[in-house]
Amino acid sequence: MPGNMTLDQLKLAVSSGEIDTVIVALIDMQGRLMGKRFHAQFFVDGGHTETHCCNYLLAVDMEMNPVPGYKSAGWEQGYGDYALRPDLATLRRIPWLPATALVLGDLVDHHTGEDIAISPRAILKRQVARARAMGFEPMMATELEFFIFENSYENLRDGGLRALAPISAYNEDYNLFQTTKEEGLMRAVRNGLYGAGVPIENTKGEADSGQHEVNYKYSNALDTADNHVIVKQGVKEMAHAAGKSVTFMAKYDHRKAGSSSHIHQSLWSLDGKASFADHDDAHGMSAVMKHFLAGQLAHARDITAFLAPYVNSYKRFTIGMFAPTKAVWSADNRTAGFRVCGAHTKAVRVECRIPGSDVNPYLACAALLAAGLDGIEKKMALEPEMKGDMYSAQGIREIPHNLREAADLLKGSAMLRAAFGGDVVDHYHHAAQWEISETDRVVTDFELQRLLERA
């Protein structure tokens, strides 16, 4: 379900005064929306064809600091421009912002018109095209978890980080009484996102105090990633409007559950048939599905840097907190990194439980798709199912323990270099190295508390 507004409908809404602002957004390396707010009349009069932005937007860190060492952009090249071309299929109303519409765009070279290879949306589009050339339509869904705090963002910025107050006092997983208390925000989230063209299914309390999950209907891979980033933006903006804050950190407190973004995946034929389903198989899995899952398992460690992109991401992989530690598969088993769901139905699918809610969905979906397609192309045999408690299982494939290990695996991945291109892999490896170096140099509260007096 892409955007819910055509350009002609926007023109009518602009002429009637219903819409006066159009946000044109790109997706940066961190999966955030960056862009410009256009006066709606300028946009419909011709601004919808193209605008420009600084190419440093794909060469900065989370703090928007220009990072040295990228091949794509730097001081030595003068930080030039990318062209940003709105994808009008994503045009939509934004109900929680007054008189506002939003459209996502693609970054292209303003000389050649070609997609910028390192841009997240282009990386996913390339893997979708690869799948379609093989006769498959990739269908995906992401589940986003986050924590809600009573603190406003302004309060946190002004020193309230030490007094974070989750919106509830206890684990509210499926708890209807506690979530009733939070309906002021969550009802606005459901209705606002649905009004923005995101096919919301439900929200629910999650497995810790103040934690929530929002679910939206599966769709094609690109639409799912687009919905994902709009959901994150919308939840943050609506929380801010309510005087509260949210975090999509993978692990904001070591004593609490992490926040995940499980990714459900299946392939369908181009004429709408379920390519993963085989009712005669013990798990309802077709040969195609087995090859696809085998590819993801074979390359699971190589692609982890795209599933867990920050040093903090790896603190979520904790025994007994429903985040996986082993990159193996099992049927309907939440201790495994890859869970087969929906056996013996046309909805049979692979759920990758490794990504946290800090993930860039375009990069994660592209990496998973690339690995699965490699398994199909090479007809990889699926390893036996693992059963029982994967946390306690020994001698099986582990998720990388930290970003440093994952970055090394990313850099050496022949599969990813073939699928994404060497420049893309090197670009995101450099991003991981910068994240590691920035974290390594910072003195943390933990170190102060542990060492200040006793060292």
Residue ending a domain, among 97, 116, 135, is: 116
pLDDT of residue 233: 98
Residue ending a domain, among 116, 136, 153, is: 116
Closest CA to 342 of 296, 284, 383: 284
pLDDT of residue 311: 97
From first to last of its 455 residues, the chain has per-residue pLDDT tens of: 578 899 999 999 999 999 999 999 999 999 999 999 999 999 999 999 999 999 999 999 999 999 999 999 989 988 999 999 999 999 999 999 999 999 999 999 988 999 999 999 999 999 999 999 999 999 999 999 999 999 999 998 888 788 899 999 999 999 999 999 999 999 999 999 999 999 999 999 998 999 999 999 999 999 999 999 999 999 999 999 999 999 999 999 999 999 999 999 999 999 999 999 999 999 999 999 999 999 999 999 999 999 999 999 999 999 888 899 999 999 988 889 999 998 889 899 999 999 999 999 999 999 999 999 999 999 999 999 999 988 988 999 999 999 999 999 999 999 999 999 999 999 999 999 999 999 999 999 999 999 999 99
pLDDT of residue 1: 53
pTM given for the model: 0.96
pLDDT of residue 402: 97
pLDDT of residue 187: 97
What is the spatial distance between Cα 174 and Cα 356, in angstroms, rounded to a whole number?
20
- Half-sphere exposure at residue 395, Cβ-oriented, CA atoms within 13 angstroms: 0
- Is residue 184 included in any domain, yes or no? yes
Residue 44 DSSP symbol: I
State whether 109 and 135 are in the same domain. Answer: no
State whether 134 and 101 are in the same domain. Answer: no
State whether 327 and 238 are in the same domain. Answer: yes
Q: The CATH number of the domain where 93 resides is what?
A: 3.10.20.70
State whether 77 and 136 are in the same domain. Answer: no
- Is residue 122 included in any domain, yes or no? no
Total of domains in the chain: 2
State whether 242 and 190 are in the same domain. Answer: yes
State whether 148 and 287 are in the same domain. Answer: yes
What is the spatial distance between Cα 378 and Cα 381, in angstroms, rounded to a whole number?
9
State whether 154 and 278 are in the same domain. Answer: yes
State whether 335 and 438 are in the same domain. Answer: yes
- Is residue 121 included in any domain, yes or no? no
- Is residue 307 included in any domain, yes or no? yes
Closest CA to 132 of 198, 222, 218: 222
pLDDT of residue 261: 97
pLDDT of residue 101: 98
State whether 255 and 106 are in the same domain. Answer: no
CB atoms within 10 A of CB 113: 10
State whether 210 and 267 are in the same domain. Answer: yes
Closest CA to 324 of 382, 249, 400, 210: 400
Residue ending a domain, among 116, 142, 165, is: 116
Is the distance from CB of 54 to CB of 79 less than 8 angstroms?
yes
Q: Where does 109-259 show beta strands of DSSP type E?
A: 136-149, 200-205, 211-216, 219-220, 245-247
pLDDT of residue 157: 87
Domain residues for 79? Answer: 7-116
State whether 280 and 368 are in the same domain. Answer: yes
Q: The CATH number of the domain where 179 resides is what?
A: 3.30.590.10
DSSP 52-81: EEEGGGGSB-TT-PBPTT-SS--GGGT--E
